[in-house]
Structures are given as structure tokens and as C-alpha cells.
Amino acid sequence: MIAALRRPQDVRGLSLKGLHLIMAMRVCAMFEASGRDPVPDLAQRYRSVEAACAVHGLVQTIKQVWPEPFMVNRPCCLAITPDEATLANLGRAAVSAHRDLFSAAIAGFVRADRHEALYNATIHAVALIP
């Protein structure tokens, strides 16, 4: 598993929803670094304020429950960080409503008492992403 995380994955291999989740994290990190609110940009991207708020809510939840700073690449980068790869796996499990697969993807990394909040935020975000 560790060796697999060391090999950089490519964003072109993700599903569209997975790509949206990764890019949203990158956009939010970029906006946070500049001191700006990412919701207007996300709303324009998704053509939905509700979707933008759901995705931003997921980002905020990740910041609260992740055991260390969530590492993202620049928006133009094709490589995926290990954190982004984990988020793509969480998104895939949420899209299929496979709760056990979701928990297995973060077992031993994110405390078990934080799984529910992360699962709910992920389900909400993937449901509203076009």
C-alpha cells in the first residue's frame, strides 16, 4: 500500500466527480493562501451555489478531521498527492453509497469517531456536483 501511494497517480484516470473533488480542494487551497473566499469561484464552475457550498463544506470538514495538513498539488498539475488519491477513493465510495469501503479507505488514518462527519460531507458534495 505504501509503495502504491509513492507512485504518483494521474488526474486523467479519475472519474469526473473524483476530478471535481480534487480540483475543488486545489482551488480552495489556492484561494485560502490568497485570503479569498472560494465559494463564488466554485459556484461559477458548478453553476450552483448549493453545490459550491457543499464542496466547500467538504473541504472544511476535511480540514477538521484529517490528522495532518491535507496536501494538494497546484491546479495545473496532473499528478495526484497521496491525500488527493485518498479523497478520490472516498468520493468513489460515496458515489456508490458503499459505507464500508469508505471507512476502509481511511481506517487507521482518520480516527473512527470522525468517519461519520466526513462520510456525510462527502455524500452531500458528490450528490450536488453536476
Q: Give this prediction's pTM.
A: 0.88
- Note the pLDDT of residue 130: 83
Task: Enter the C-alpha cell of residue 59.
Answer: 473541504
Strand partners, 79: 10
Burial string for 95-107 (b: 16+ CB within 10 Å, else e) reads: beeeeeebbebbe
Task: Enter the C-alpha cell of residue 74.
Answer: 497546484
Question: 24, exposed or middle or buried, with CB in 10 Å at 0-12, 13-18, 19+?
Answer: buried
Per-residue pLDDT of 44-64, as tens digits, reads 999 999 999 999 999 999 999
Q: Which residue has the cell 502504491?
A: 4
Per-residue pLDDT of 74-106, as tens digits, reads 999 999 998 999 999 999 999 999 999 999 999
